[in-house]
């Protein structure tokens, strides 16, 4: 089962209400099922070979308490950092620099120097950045502790979600392989320290075969470069970063590609990646790891009943669900209605519902035309599968307070982050 069941969510919701964890001011709360999250992490560990560093994409879920949880249950896991700020957060959370992968496409000279000196794995994004790294490496008097890879766009095509597809003919990320093959070869013939390759095809919306094809192209390239590097006495490319991107299911009843099958297919297409003496494998899964483990509940403040449509006015909109509100066709969740005591509501109202957020623009509508049971003031709407790319994309527009975030392990509940106070909120703007 990929998605948490309505029954298990209902049980947790009722228990949280009974324990008083959803207070009057908690107009919305984000929950994480930590047992489920742990099962995802364990699946990653057992699916991949021992030479793998799982650098979970921090941008999907940067909560400190979740990072602590990860450190506790999977101390060999690392993180992928999309900014120097995320590198800093990772180091502060106790990750060893060699468990941190730094991937930003706009690193400054200071970012690069800091990361290289700390010893994190740096994926260079483009040829101009490579030039900068080359100058930096020449300026260091001692050898640097970290490793360096280059992001290559295999130009394999676009997935179904344009906004998160990054391996088309054009992409703002990486060095496009077809256009700059000669420059890429030159780079790998020249730089002794350039011992890694990196690709990331897209996030959600990319078929498994597309990810495999991208990996295949880069694998062939790496093997070819290694033959040439061997002839000139350069160390081989030994770090192969496959990025993230395995899609998940947002709709119960639909099946997403399995991680285990993905690993089997990678092994068929690129067998040497599984040879611990040849390569260290890096993965960067964010959505697959986190999203299905989380859900969000909002109290219904009002219901507007127009002739053709009802509108449930709730306490989260484009602040928590920026992608869903701006690109509703690409990002769709499931929704369940519970009454004020947490009992599941049944049936289907005669008119469908729009779920409208609290923000001051017309597009702040999380979902349109959803068939739901009759929704009333004080009910709770659960938005499923919100554990990744939701709170991490929080928007400050309209200055709403960030919600309480609660983790649970069966019937044990733990507040992972407190609801923001008015003073903390004001502090953001100071």
Ligand X SMILES: Cc1ncc(COP(=O)(O)O)c(C=O)c1O
* Footprint of ligand X (CB under 6 A): 57, 60, 80, 103, 200, 203-204, 243-245, 284-288
Nearer to ligand X by Cβ, of 62 and 245: the residue is 245
Nearer to ligand X by Cβ, of 55 and 342: the residue is 55
Query: Which of 279, 296, 306, 278 shows the shortest CA–CA distance to 369?
Result: 306
CA distance 111 to 316: 35
393 to 104, 105, 258, 389: CA distances (angstroms): 17, 18, 26, 6
Nearer to ligand X by Cβ, of 27 and 153: the residue is 153
- Mapped onto helix, strand or coil, the DSSP state of residue 161 is coil
- Mapped onto helix, strand or coil, the DSSP state of residue 115 is helix
Token pair 């930590």: residue: 34
Nearer to ligand X by Cβ, of 107 and 287: the residue is 287
CB of 135 to ligand X, least distance (A): 24
Structure token digits, residue 367: 């979902």
CA distance 259 to 47: 7
Nearer to ligand X by Cβ, of 103 and 364: the residue is 103
Nearer to ligand X by Cβ, of 165 and 310: the residue is 165
Nearer to ligand X by Cβ, of 81 and 382: the residue is 81
The DSSP code for 399 is -
Residue of minimal CB distance from ligand X?
A: 244
CB of 93 to ligand X, least distance (A): 18
- Mapped onto helix, strand or coil, the DSSP state of residue 267 is helix
CB of 286 to ligand X, least distance (A): 3
CA distance 32 to 53: 24
CA distance 285 to 44: 9
Nearer to ligand X by Cβ, of 149 and 244: the residue is 244
CB of 103 to ligand X, least distance (A): 5
CB of 292 to ligand X, least distance (A): 12
CB of 107 to ligand X, least distance (A): 13
- Mapped onto helix, strand or coil, the DSSP state of residue 123 is strand
- Mapped onto helix, strand or coil, the DSSP state of residue 126 is coil
CB of 355 to ligand X, least distance (A): 24
The DSSP code for 363 is T
- Mapped onto helix, strand or coil, the DSSP state of residue 385 is coil
CB of 287 to ligand X, least distance (A): 4
Query: Which of 243, 252, 338, 303 shows the shortest CA–CA distance to 9?
Result: 338
């Amino acid at each position: 089962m990929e998605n948490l069941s309505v029954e298990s969510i209902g049980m947790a919701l009722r228990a949280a209400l009974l324990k008083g964890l959803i207070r009057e001011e908690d107009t919305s709360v984000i929950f994480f099922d930590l047992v489920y999250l742990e099962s995802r992490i364990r699946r990653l560990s057992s699916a991949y070979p021992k030479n793998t560093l799982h650098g979970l994409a921090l941008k999907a879920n940067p909560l400190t308490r979740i990072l602590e949880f990860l450190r506790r249950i999977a101390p060999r896991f690392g993180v992928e950092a999309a900014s120097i700020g995320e590198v800093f957060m990772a180091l502060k959370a106790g990750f060893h620099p060699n468990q941190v992968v730094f991937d930003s496409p706009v690193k400054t000279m200071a970012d690069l120097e800091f990361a290289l000196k700390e010893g994190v794995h740096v994926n260079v994004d483009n040829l101009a950045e490579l030039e900068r790294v080359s100058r930096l490496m020449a300026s260091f008097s001692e050898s640097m502790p970290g490793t360096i890879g280059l992001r290559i766009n295999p130009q394999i095509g676009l997935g179904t979600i344009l906004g998160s597809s990054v391996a088309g003919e054009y992409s703002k990320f990486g060095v496009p392989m077809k256009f700059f093959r000669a420059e890429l070869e030159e780079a790998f013939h020249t730089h002794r320290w350039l011992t890694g390759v990196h690709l990331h095809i897209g996030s959600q919306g990319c078929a498994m075969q597309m990810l495999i094809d991208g990996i295949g192209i880069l694998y062939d390239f790496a093997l070819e470069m290694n033959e040439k590097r061997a002839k000139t006495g350069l160390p081989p490319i030994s770090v192969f970063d496959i990025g993230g991107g395995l899609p998940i299911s947002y709709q119960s009843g639909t099946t997403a590609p399995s991680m285990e099958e993905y690993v089997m297919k990678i092994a068929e297409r690129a067998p040497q990646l599984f040879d611990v003496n040849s390569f260290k494998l890096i993965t960067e899964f964010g959505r697959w790891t986190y999203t299905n483990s989380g859900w969000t509940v909002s109290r219904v403040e009002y219901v507007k009943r127009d002739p053709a449509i009802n509108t449930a006015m709730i306490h989260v909109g484009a602040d928590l669900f920026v992608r869903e509100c701006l690109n509703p066709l690409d990002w769709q969740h499931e929704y369940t209605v519970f009454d004020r005591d947490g009992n599941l509501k049944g049936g289907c109202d005669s008119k469908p519902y729009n779920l409208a957020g609290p923000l001051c623009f017309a597009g702040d509508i999380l979902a349109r035309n959803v068939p739901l049971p009759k929704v009333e003031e004080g009910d709770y709407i659960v938005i499923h599968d919100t554990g990744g790319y939701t709170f991490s994309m929080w928007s400050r527009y309209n200055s709403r307070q960030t919600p309480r975030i609660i983790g649970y392990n069966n019937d044990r509940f733990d507040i992972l982050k407190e609801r923001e106070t008015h003073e903390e909120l004001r502090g953001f703007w100071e």
